[in-house]
Structure 1
Amino acid sequence: MAARKQTAVNTVASLEQQLAQLKAQLAKARAAQAADAGKAVAGLAKDAAKATTALKAAQSKLAAAAKKKTPGSAKQVTAAKAAVASAKKEAVAAKAKVAAAKKEAAAAKAAAKLAAAHDKAVAKAEAAVAKRLKASAKKAAAKSKVAEKKAAAKAKLAAKKSAAKAKLAAKKQAVRAKAAAKKAALKKKVADKKAAAKAKIAAKKAAAKAKIAAKKIAAKAKVAAKKPAAKKAVAKKPAAAKKAVVKKAPAKKAVVKKPAVKKAVTKKPAVKKAVAKKPAGAAPAKRGRKPKAAAPVAAA
């Protein structure tokens, strides 16, 4: 499309150039025509002057022939009259040609003058149009410049606004990140505190368990240390007591199946001590019953 437009503009410019050349040629042709018409009028005027001179000469001859009273003068007068008539015709024709040539020259001059006036008016109009076009182009350029300045100002303002928005968004993001970091730090601190508290509680529990286990181990060691004395006491018992103890095997199984009773027994060392301090000839042994403290010993 741009190529077509460029081609059209070049064609118009070429035609305008040709038109200007033709106008110049036309003006030269009109001037030459007027000059030729003037020359033709001058030539015809000379011819008319010659015809007039010939007419006058013929008239002079006629007058001279008319003055003569000779027998041959009549013929001379007739011939002179014929010559005068012919000269008159030639003079009239020459004058008519001069008049026609003058008319043509006047028409050519008038046409040339009119064409010159027309060309001058056209040139003036074209100059006015060019001036207007130049003024309009100048106004358009000024408007375009103003529009470009406005667009640049708008773009600058938009850039400032976008930069301000971006800065504000960055600030908000930074504030949010800072708040999130604070929250995360607070959560971590709380979690650390909870973990520390849990660890402390777990350590306390472990220490308590260890203390209880140590107590249990000490109690077991103490019980184990007291077992030889209990075994000696059992060995001194009569045979009837041994039989009674041997016959009550199901009671031992019941004691083995109930670890809770064992725990209760282990938690009460005072009872064990009381059982261990009983003499060998105790009354329950005589009745065939097993002492209560003897169950953990047998189980052990």
Structure 2
Amino acid sequence: MAKLEAELSKLKGQLEKAREKQEKDAAKSADKLAKDAAKAADKAKKAAAKVKATRAKKKTPAQQRQLKSAVTAANAAKKAADNAKAAAKEAKEQLATIKADNKLAAKVAKSIAKEEAAVAKKLAAEAKKKAAAEAKKAAAAAKKKAAAEKKKAAAAAKKKAAAEKKKAAAAKKKAAAAAKKAKAKAKKATAKKKPGRPKKAATKTGAKKSPGRPKKAATKTKAKKSPGRPKKAAAKKTAARRGRPPKAK
């Protein structure tokens, strides 16, 4: 925004300087043309007076030629004065046009600057709105993340506590079992030993081994092999069906 304003100010300054220079140059040109016109008019006036004075006197051929030259010079001076007047008038008109153009240019520049300032203001408002929305979004995301982290931490702590509790219960159970075992051992150690069952007398002879199943007697003759299924006379049947004699083997 500040950069845009600086650029506009710079452009405005340059335009103002250019306008002042143009107006100054046009005014100088108009003054010069007016002075030239005044000089030409004075010259014409002098030439006319000279012609008038010469005409009053008696004229010789040389004087007549001089008079003719003076008349020509007076006419030329008058023409130059008229031209100078027309040029001065034109310069004045040009100066007026330049002034009007500069005024219009200043008005246009002012309008453009105003429009650009409005656009810059609108853009700044949009940027502010966008930044606010982004900040709000970021805050919401951070809040959500923090809540998730808190929930996760709580769940982890709960799980850990449950594990610790389970571990403690197992340790308690183990201790109870050990205590019970120790108590039983102590009871066993303190209790009187019973006489128990008397040992069986050893046998004089060793136990007899069972004879087991008797072996089957081997067959004297070898079993005959089964002849199996007889082969079909397929070749003969096929040859008969197709109308040709069977192949000789």
TM-score (norm 1): 0.52
**Superposition deviation, residue 163 in structure 1:** 1.0
Q: Tell me the number of residue pairs that the alignment of Structure 1 and Structure 2 aligns.
A: 194
Following superposition, the deviation at residue 121 of structure 1 comes to 2.2
For structure 1, which runs of at least 5 residues remain unmatched after alignment?
A: 1-9, 213-259, 262-300
Distance 1:129 1:117, change over 3 A: same
- The equivalent position to 2:193 in structure 1, one of 200, 208, 212, is 208
What is the match of residue 155 of structure 1? 142
SS across alignment from 1:176 = helix
Is 2:18 the counterpart of 1:26?
yes
Counterpart-to-counterpart distance in 2, 1:183 and 1:84: 144
C-alpha separation in 1, matches of 2:104 and 2:161: 83
Q: Which residue identity does 2:160 align to in structure 1?
A: Q
Deviations 1:3-47 (A, max 9, x none): xxxxxxx9x999988766544432321121122123223323423
**8 Å contact 2:37–2:80 — kept in the other structure?**
no
Partner of 2:33: 41
8 Å contact kept, 1:37–1:108 = no
Deviation (angstroms), 1:88: 1.3
The yes-or-no answer on 1:169 pairing with 2:156 is yes
1:131 is the counterpart of 2:123: no
- Aligned residue in 1 for 2:179: 192
Letter of the structure 2 residue corresponding to residue 134 of structure 1: K
Q: Equivalent residue for 1:288?
A: none
C-alpha distance in 1 between matches for 2:125 and 2:9? 25
Structure richer in helix, relative to its length? 1
- Note the alpha carbon deviations across 1:64-104, whole angstroms, 9 max, x for none: 64xx9xxx257666654442321110111122233334434
Instruction: Quickly say closer, same or farther: Cα 1:140–1:18, change in 2 above 3 A.
Output: closer
Q: Is there any run of 5+ residues in structure 2 with no aligned partner, and where? A: 202-249
Is structure 2 residue 105 aligned with structure 1 residue 118?
yes
Q: Which stretch of the first structure deviates more once superposed, 152-161 or 124-133?
A: 124-133
Cα deviations across residues 150-198 of structure 1 (Å, max 9, x unaligned)?
2012101211221122112212221222222123212322332233223
Distance 1:128 1:14, change over 3 A: closer
Shift of 1:61: 5.3
Whole-angstrom distance in 2 between the partners of 1:146 and 1:103: 63
Shift of 1:60: 5.3
Number of the residue aligned with 1:92: 79
Q: Is the 8 A contact 2:44 2:75 kept in 1?
A: yes
Amino acid at match of 1:47: K
Amino acid of the residue matched to residue 32 of structure 2?
A: A
Contact 1:48 1:98 in 2 (8 A): no
Are positions 1:178 and 2:165 aligned together? yes
> What is the deviation of 1:148?
0.8
Note the alpha carbon deviations across 1:95-143, whole angstroms, 9 max, x for none: 2233334434544553454345334423432332233123202211221
Greater relative CO, 1 or 2 (CA 8 Å, sep 6+): 2
Q: What amino acid is aligned across from residue 28 of structure 1 in structure 2?
A: E
